[in-house]
């Protein structure tokens, strides 16, 4: 796994020896950032269920101003911090080691994000993710939420004010774009 574009392009990222973490494939990550490339520069990003931090680090490398990473696995947060140091992006980031739903109510309260990247475990029933984002007013007015899920999954139920704008399928993986 590596950084695909931007100032940290080509740097190999550390990955955990953990069967519960499923890093985004490079081809899915590349497709995602080709789609959102125009809104990444100068953006504030949330990488929820961050795993290795690959998505948030890619955003920072491509010009995002700041990224908050949320990951509850302690081993993974160590890897995120090491990957941030390895890429030289640690000054533009904050890593929270806690459950996503707890983080949005406590650590992220009062913060707004231009881009919210969510890659929850596929087995997790995560129908409340969009509701948590909406209830805690995390999405900036012109912001976007990208949810990575199994391509067999349907779109998430949307709270009022959030809608599915696009869906792209890449093999076993699908990207859902909400506004």
Q: Can you give the pLDDT at residue 71?
A: 96
Per CATH, the architecture of 26-178 is what?
3-Layer(aba) Sandwich (3.40)
Strands ordered across the beta sheet of 173-178: 93-96, 66-70, 44-48, 113-118, 139-150, 173-178, 164-170
Give me the residues paired with residue 173 across strands: 150, 170
3-class DSSP assignment, residue 108: coil
Burial of 162 (0-12, 13-18, 19+ CB in 10 A): middle
**74/69 Cα distance (integer angstroms):** 12
Q: Which helix (H) or strand (E) covers residue 10, if one does?
A: none
Cβ contacts of 130 within 8 Å, gap of 6 or more: 145, 147, 156, 157, 158, 159, 162, 178
**60/6 Cα distance (integer angstroms):** 8
| Higher pLDDT, residue 61 or 157 | 61
Structure pTM? 0.93
User: What pLDDT band is residue 176 in, cutting at 50, 70 and 90?
Assistant: very high
Q: Can you give the pLDDT at residue 8?
A: 96
**115/118 Cα distance (integer angstroms):** 10
**Per-domain residue ranges of the chain:** 26-178
Q: Can you give the pLDDT at residue 12?
A: 94
User: What pLDDT band is residue 81 in, cutting at 50, 70 and 90?
Assistant: very high
pLDDT tens-digit series, residues 108-121: 989 999 999 998 87
pLDDT tens-digit series, residues 1-58: 899 999 999 999 998 776 555 556 678 899 999 999 999 999 999 999 999 999 999 9
């Amino acid at each position: 796994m590596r950084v695909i574009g931007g100032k940290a392009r080509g740097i190999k990222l550390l990955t955990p020896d953990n069967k519960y973490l499923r890093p985004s494939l490079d081809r899915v990550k590349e497709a995602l950032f080709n789609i959102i490339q125009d809104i990444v520069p100068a953006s504030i990003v949330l990488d929820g269920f961050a795993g290795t931090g690959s998505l948030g680090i890619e955003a920072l490398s491509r010009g995002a101003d700041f990224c908050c990473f949320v990951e509850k696995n302690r081993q993974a947060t160590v890897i995120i911090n090491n990957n941030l140091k390895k890429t030289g992006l640690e000054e533009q980031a904050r890593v929270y080691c806690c459950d996503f739903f707890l983080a949005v109510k406590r650590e992220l309260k009062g913060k707004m994000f231009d881009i919210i990247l969510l890659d929850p475990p596929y087995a997790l029933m995560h129908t409340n993710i969009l509701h948590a984002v909406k209830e805690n007013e995390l999405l900036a007015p012109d912001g976007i939420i990208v949810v990575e899920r199994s391509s067999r999954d349907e779109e998430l139920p949307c709270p009022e004010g959030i809608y599915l704008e696009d869906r792209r399928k890449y093999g076993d993986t699908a990207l859902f774009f909400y506004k």
